[in-house]
Amino acid sequence: MEHVSLSDLETSEAADGVHLALMAGAESMNVQHFEIEPGATVEEHSHPHEQTGFIYEGELTFLTDDEEIVCGPGDSYALPGDQPHAAENRGDETVRGVDIFSPPRENPSWQD
């Protein structure tokens, strides 16, 4: 069994105001914690991984297929692999949550 505490991890800044930390992982999936500062944007991207997630603080707006979906505290979401999507924190509070990726994914960098 792998045990990972968020307090023991260093985050990486994948884009301005978007902080990620890889947590526990296994052969078929892994967990990633994220913090997205007010005004920060995750630019449109896609990946082969299925992605599910849960927001526990703040409000995040997902942009997919010309649709905007707002997720707030207590909301979960699922994105199929290869679906283009973006996310924006349009609020005044940092968004905090977790994503689960299958297969496992490394911390991305959208600043390149």
- For 40, residues 6+ apart whose C-beta sits below 8 A from its C-beta are 15, 16, 17, 18, 88, 89
pLDDT of residue 106: 84
Look up the pTM and report it.
Answer: 0.92
44 pLDDT band, cuts 50/70/90, is: very high
DSSP string, 54-111: EEEES-EEEEETTEEEEE-TT-EEEE-TT--EEEE--SSS-EEEEEEEES--PPP---
Q: What is the pLDDT of residues 46-91, one digit of tens each?
A: 999 999 999 999 999 999 988 999 999 999 999 999 999 999 999 9
